[in-house]
Structure 1
Amino acid sequence: MGTRDRVLIVDDEWQMRNLLKVLLYPSFDAEEAEDGEEALALLKKKSFSLVILDLMMPGISGWEVCEKIREEKQVPILMLTARGDTKDKVEGFTAGADDYLVKPFEPEELVARVKALVRRARAGGQIETDVLEAADLKIDRTARLIYAGNTIVELTPKEFELVELLAVNDKVIFTRDMLMARIWETHQEPDIRTTDTHIKNIREKFRKGGLSFNPIRTVWGKGYRFQKPES
């Protein structure tokens, strides 16, 4: 039987550390640190496949811990925080984080992100940023940020997922039912205009952000698709 991947959980709240250990146990061994100093000490003694790092901690902040880890190691870092501001995300990635998850989170999403980070790190050593580009639109799938030129377009998580799904599958026309099943994981739309409203909001945010083209096209009588600008 092979050695299991080991994850270091760094959070000043014992309830959160315990929850994370329970969620990760089926697939990973986990050790914990209640602050940045303890985490850095453990990282000097042992090897870990991934670090889950809380942003807001007493003493050394998660940003500082992340920067200190990056000075010596390329271990994947998943930043965990109650703050979902784009500015915080950008600072986290600048400090060296590989992914960012906002509390409260869905347990399945956390485990999926941890597995993906560990898998990519094992396959390629250093994690590559997964970026989709079309004209002045840039979709950073790792950072979960969208840019119009150099301007970050502030999207909600569902809006980002909609744009990402359409962009990755740019040759597919998605009906409203298909989008509800993939994004909201339901086949019954509580409000028939839910999808339309999200698309409208995304288009308006792209327009205000200065995007040079409308990437989400309506296919009348069918649904929506992603369309790159004509060259």
Structure 2
Amino acid sequence: MLMETLGQLDPYLVGAVLLAVLALDGSPLIGAVLPGEAATAVAGTALTGPLEVAIAAAGGVIGCYLGATGGWLIGRRYGSRVRHNRAGRWIGEHRWARAERLATGTGSGPALAAACFLPVVNSLTPVLAGTLGMPYHRFIRWALAGSAVWVSAYLALGSAAGEFVRHNEHLMVPVAGCVAVVIAGLVVIGLRARANRRAEISEPVGSRIPETSSRPLR
């Protein structure tokens, strides 16, 4: 029932809402908590054909353009103060460092385009690009290229998922159960890996006792 209601939405309305959401997603603070990927995929479930996907994608790319431009201007104007203020510390230094590597590393242009697929980091790279003095025309060219691929991919996946659900409603419960199990497993694996990594970092090097052979000396 819900999928049928979504399928009746005007694609221009979907594109307008997506434009607003992705423009906000480009803000460093809002982008850290706003699930832009999920919002784009859900928007895709309301689309029922390539033409509707293209219409909504145009709105999404415009939203990404506005968000990226705003982030670049913030970085240009306020520089590293954004990174080191209270909100920047809340986002996390490791995320800032990852975004900085993308903005300054070898092949930074393609890396900026690929950053669109990295949650949270995609809202930080525009700020760092402006802070580091990357020319706007070069930055926005790569940002738009990545945004176009990112928005189109998520909308197409959402549209395909919506069509599948509308034609196979009887599979909703088992599919949802399988997805929940997979997600739970990935979360557990990720938490254990993070805990092990933190334990290795916090363990002093000198505290490790070298293994000695239990065999008697001859």
State the TM-score, normalizing by the size of structure 2: 0.28
| Higher Cα radius of gyration | 2
Larger proportion of helix: 2
Larger proportion of strand: 1
Q: Which has the higher contact order (CA 8 A, sep 6+)?
A: 2
